Structure 1
Amino acid sequence: MNEDLNYHLIAIKCKSCENNWSLNISLSGNHVEPFAAVCDCSALIIGNFNFLEFQNKQNSENPNDHSKKIYLTNGHFEILQMKKNEILKLPNLHLE
């Protein structure tokens, strides 16, 4: 199986310490994938990745229609819009 189909790579910014991180969200085949991590500053990073909405965005003529439906977060971090090669340069925050 293609490695890109096993996980979803995102960049985040912790709102407590302002550090940027990469996260690898494992994909199990569910429509919504929960994820959780603890930042080095002890902030809890908790959210859901809606894979179905992500696929809809990829196929949509207007990707902004789906942007708010893809990630549900606890508000302690923001999702950064970065290219994959830029995300790979960030330190990885390991999921719990």
Structure 2
Amino acid sequence: MSYLVEDDPARRRFEILVDDALAGFTAYRPRGADVLVFTHTQVDPAFRGKGVGEALIRGTLDEVRRRGARVVPRCPFMAAFIDRHAAYADLVTATDEP
């Protein structure tokens, strides 16, 4: 399986393609110029249990880091991933958003 994670700013989400098929996405809301509030992650049932969700979050966070941006992980899946992978903890920032 080959993975490709890419940002779709028009849809406000990072998508993961597996062998050119859309396998999942993680949605965000921009907060200012350099913060993304992640609200929801979804993986197509056909791709669950194959590491696609983890590859999606890892690819997303790597791109956020490359941009010099930060995240607010409101999505439980992303928050749990960051809790398990401390190398990404420095990307987390707080927000005053309810």
TM-score, normalization by structure 1: 0.31
TM-score normalised by L of structure 2:
0.31
